[in-house]
Structures are given as structure tokens and as C-alpha cells.
A and B are shown apart, each in its own frame.
Chain A
Amino acid sequence: MIGNAQLISLSRQIALQRQMDVVAHNVANINTTGFKAEQILFEQYEMPVARDRTFPNLDQPLAYVQDWATIHDLSGGAMVQTGNELDIALNGNGFLAVQTPAGERWTRAGSLQIDNAGTLVDLSGNPVLGNGGPIQFGPDESGITIAPDGSIASSAGAKGQLRIVEFANPQALVREGSNLFSGGTPGANAGTRVMQGHIEKSNVSGVSEMAELIRVTRAYESIASLTQKQDELRRSAIQRLGDTNA
């Protein structure tokens, strides 16, 4: 009986530690361009057989805690004006498509660069895709403008249009690190607008993460004290029963 209670506490404590990891990751990325906060979801995992034989007809299922999924909070982050012509922020639900060695990936981090070959790349050097593949600039081009619909022009004329993808179920996206997402079924851009000269900050809210942090540490402590009490209960039971028999 007490053993079960301790295992249930343990399942909750492990879940809380994971939740703490998620809070830490969100706070660590509070200044990461285009970062989307994560939330962790829990569900109860019912064990059908409770080994409690005290009440023969009233066996209760035991409910353990299980972390079930992390969901992406895809709300927009703050738009900050940088004045840099290669900084773009996406206003809407879309993602930029980039070409990585492992295939196409999606990102909201719009601080772009031009590499030594004149290709538009992200900060890891992955080419940013336009509707017709990577976007190239010649060595003597200047005055790059990116219109709200993603079409790019420079002193040499039109250079193509950024490929912006939207997802019917963005929760199916998998995080890859380096500000990249993979997976999902990319759909056409429905209403995402490109803002040149801006970047999108991370959408992590310091206040709610700190509140979460306090909640997690307090819950963890109260469960630790619960475990302690269970232990004391068992100890005193053994002592008293031992005394009686002696």
C-alpha cells in the first residue's frame, strides 16, 4: 500500500523534473530569434490492478503521472526593428523553408545572411529557399528589398519569392535544434506577411515561466515531504507492530 503511494509520488517527481527541464530550456532561449516556447502535457496512467486487499470489493485503480507530449506555443513573438535589410520577421503562422544537408527544414528565425557565393542563407549557412530554389545575388548587387508577400528585388531586378509554408497541424512539427523544425505537411502560404528590417524575438514570457518555476519547485517539495511522511508512517508502523509482538 505504502509502496504504491511512493511509486506514484515518484512518477510525479520525475514528471516535475522534466517540466523543470522544459522551463529551463524556455528561459535559456528567451533571447533566441524566432524561438517558440514549449509546454509539457501530463496525463494520468491508470494501473488496472491496485494491490490493496483491505477492502475486497472496492479495488481502486492507481493513477500514475505520465508526461505525454510537449506542445509548441506558436504565438507570435515581439517584432523588433533592426534596420538590417536581411532581417525578416514573419507576421502570421508561416515558416521559412531552408535546405539543410538532411532535407528541407522550417524556421521562424529570419536573421538571414548572404554567403560568399551570393546565396541567401540562415545563420547556420543553410540556403533559404525561394519558390524556385535557393536565392542568389550577384557580387555587384545592392539595395535588397523584400516585399510583404516575400518577393525579393535588388538593384538587378526581381530575384524570386521566398517560399513560406504553413501547416494544418503545426503541433506535428519536430524540433531539430538550431532554430529548425522538421516534419509536417507543408501547405501554401495563406496569410503570412514578411516584414523586412525586423526580427521576431522569442515568444517566451518571463513572467509565466517564473510562475511555472515556482509552481514546479513547490509541487516537488510538497511531494518530497509526502514521501517523507509515508516513510515515517511505515517506520512507526513497523516499530509499533514490532513492540506489540515482542
Chain B
Amino acid sequence: MKALYIASTGMSAQERNVEVISNNIANMRTTGYKRQRAEFQDLLYQQITRAGSQTSDQGTMVPAGLEIGSGVRTVATPRVMSQGSVNMTERELDVAIRGEGFFMIQLPDGRTGYTRDGSFERSADGTLVNSSGYVVDPGITVPGDARGVSISPEGTVEAYIGTDTAPTQLGQLQLARFVNKSGLESMGDNLFLETAASGPAQVSLPNADGAGDLLQNYLELANVNSVTEIADLIAAQRAYEMNARVISGADQMMQATSQLR
């Protein structure tokens, strides 16, 4: 009985769907989180009669074929890279990106991580780091006696040093863009990694080449919409139940068969 196996593909697909939705909901308050969506495709078809096959010597043919599908599979969980809403935090080292683009973070293993989470801190020696303590690329050092650090929409970091009356430029933040943002690999900790599918990072200054500009004192919230997620959750749960119902229906048919004698 194929129906049993078909319905089981449906149940496992909906299970995945619920996993993706629950991860979205769990990260509703994660800075810079981008929601994911499970995408499904139908599986191969068994062609019992092919449409267009001949039914007589006079050239008449079958107008529609007889095809039995074999279920569903999860094909991708692409991230929806839309802008999250920005929230004022009044911390001078909080930066939100308005537009495309990612901050670059030097990972301890030498690779570069990409993130939309702009809640930066100063390390013990004044280096600008992310909340895991990894250095924000390119390294910018804010001296201990710096006052009034300002980050311009173009990424210029300036501060008044000591008793200076004119600001000193401390460094320049850069942003990375990707041709295919959905192809980035998620490594957790709000970080993404470049992959063959995402294409190489294109580093540019903020507000140039479509990279988006920066907003100091703000953080980008997750782009998870709770109402949509709950609606999706209900749909997934009901779909799961219906697939389970198909399994018990198929079981009932097999029971009717097995009780014959």
C-alpha cells in the first residue's frame, strides 16, 4: 500500500516545518535574526498511462495521463532576508544596518563571520568586538579616554580624545554584500558563513554600492512576525494530523484485506 509511505513523507515534512517555525519563534527577540521558511516539493510520479499515448490505430490518444505521486520532500529552508524593525537602545555602540549588507567579524579560527547583529562592545584594550568578544573587521580601537563615540551612516567612527575639542577619526566600518544572501550558511551565534552558493563577499563602505547605511544607537530586531508564525504553526499541525489520518485510513483498508479469508 503506497498510501502509507506517501502519508509518512507528509508527516515528516510537517515535522520539519514545525521545527523551522519553532526555531523562528524561539528567536523572536534575537537581534538581527532572519526568519526561515520550510519549502516543499512534490516527489516523483509513477506514470501508469502517459498523456498522449495512442488509444487506437486512428491516432486517437489519451487526453490526460494516469499518474500517482509518491509524496513530498523538504527542499530548502531559505531565510527571508527582509529588514527587521529597528529599536532604539541609546547605547552608543549599538548599530543597525538599514539596507542589505552584513558586518564582518573575525572568528578565532581565522575565518570571517557575517552578521546583522550590531550590538558591539569594547574589549579590555578598547578594540571594537561583538557580544561574543570577536573583533569587528576591520579592527577599530577606541582609546580609554575617548568620549562621545559617533558612528556615521557611512561607517566612520569618531570620538573626542581626552580634552580635544575636535573629533578624531578612529576607523571605518565596512559592510559585506552577497549576490545570494539566502545561500549563506548559518553557524549560530547570530553569524553567517560564506558558501559556494552565496558567492564571494563584496566588501564596500556603508551607503555605497547598495550596501545600506548605519544607524547608531539602534538595533535591528528579528524579522519574525508572531501572528504569521502562529498561523503557520496551526496549518502545519493540522496538516500533520491529516497525514496521520491518511495513515490510519490506509491501515483500515489493509485491515479489511487481512480479515478476508
Contacts and interface: CB of A to CB of B under 8 A. Distances in A.
Contacts of B249: 20, 23, 213-214, 216-217
A23 B243 CA distance: 10
Contacts of B78: 111, 113, 123
B250 A22 contact: no
B246 A24 contact: yes
A236 interface: no
A38 B250 contact: no
The winner among A22, A71, A169 for most chain B CB atoms within 10 A is: A22
A187 interface: no
A29 B10 contact: yes
A117 B199 contact: yes
Given A206-B238, A227-B260, A178 B75 contact: yes
A75 interface: no
B19 interface: no
Interface in A1-51: 13, 16-18, 20-25, 27-33, 35, 38, 40
A149 interface: no
Interface in A166-203: 169, 171-179, 183
Contacts of A137: 179
Which size class do B's interface residues fall under?
Answer: 35 or more
A35 B42 CA distance: 8
B64 A28 contact: no
A83 B52 CA distance: 40
Nearest to A156: B210
B236 A31 contact: yes
A153 B259 CA distance: 64
Contacts of B72: 28-29, 32
A25 B42 contact: yes
A116 interface: yes
A116 B199 contact: yes
A209 to B, nearest CB: 7
B6 interface: yes
Contacts of B68: 18, 21-22, 25, 70
B88 interface: no
The winner among B38, B81, B260 for most chain A CB atoms within 10 A is: B260
Interface in A78-96: 82-85
Contacts of A117: 179, 199
Nearest to B76: A123
Contacts of B166: none
A38 to B, nearest CB: 7
Contact of B1 (A20, A28, A70, A228): A20
A214 B250 CA distance: 10
B246 A183 contact: no
Interface residues of A, number: 72
B9 interface: yes
Contacts of B66: 40, 67-70
Contact of B51 (A33, A183, A216): A183
Given A177-B43, A210-B242, A27 B7 contact: yes
Interface in B46-68: 47-52, 62-68
Contacts of A243: none
A177 B69 CA distance: 8
B2 A174 contact: no
A178 B197 contact: no
B260 A224 contact: yes
Contact of A20 (B3, B67, B183): B3
A82 B80 contact: yes
A127 to B, nearest CB: 13
Contacts of B38: 31
B183 to A, nearest CB: 6
B40 A31 contact: yes
B147 interface: no
B210 A206 contact: no
Interface of A: 13, 16-18, 20-25, 27-33, 35, 38, 40, 67-72, 82-85, 109, 111, 113-118, 123-124, 137, 139-143, 155, 169, 171-179, 183, 206, 209-210, 213-214, 216-217, 220-221, 224-225, 227-228, 231
19 contacts: A16-B253, A18-B68, A20-B249, A21-B69, A24-B7, A25-B6, A29-B10, A31-B17, A31-B235, A68-B66, A113-B78, A117-B199, A139-B179, A140-B177, A140-B209, A175-B42, A210-B242, A217-B253, A227-B260
Closest 3 CB pairs of A and B: A28-B10, A25-B69, A116-B199
Given A70-B64, A178-B75, A224-B256, 8 more contacts: A30-B10, A118-B180, A142-B99, A171-B63, A172-B64, A175-B67, A177-B45, A213-B245
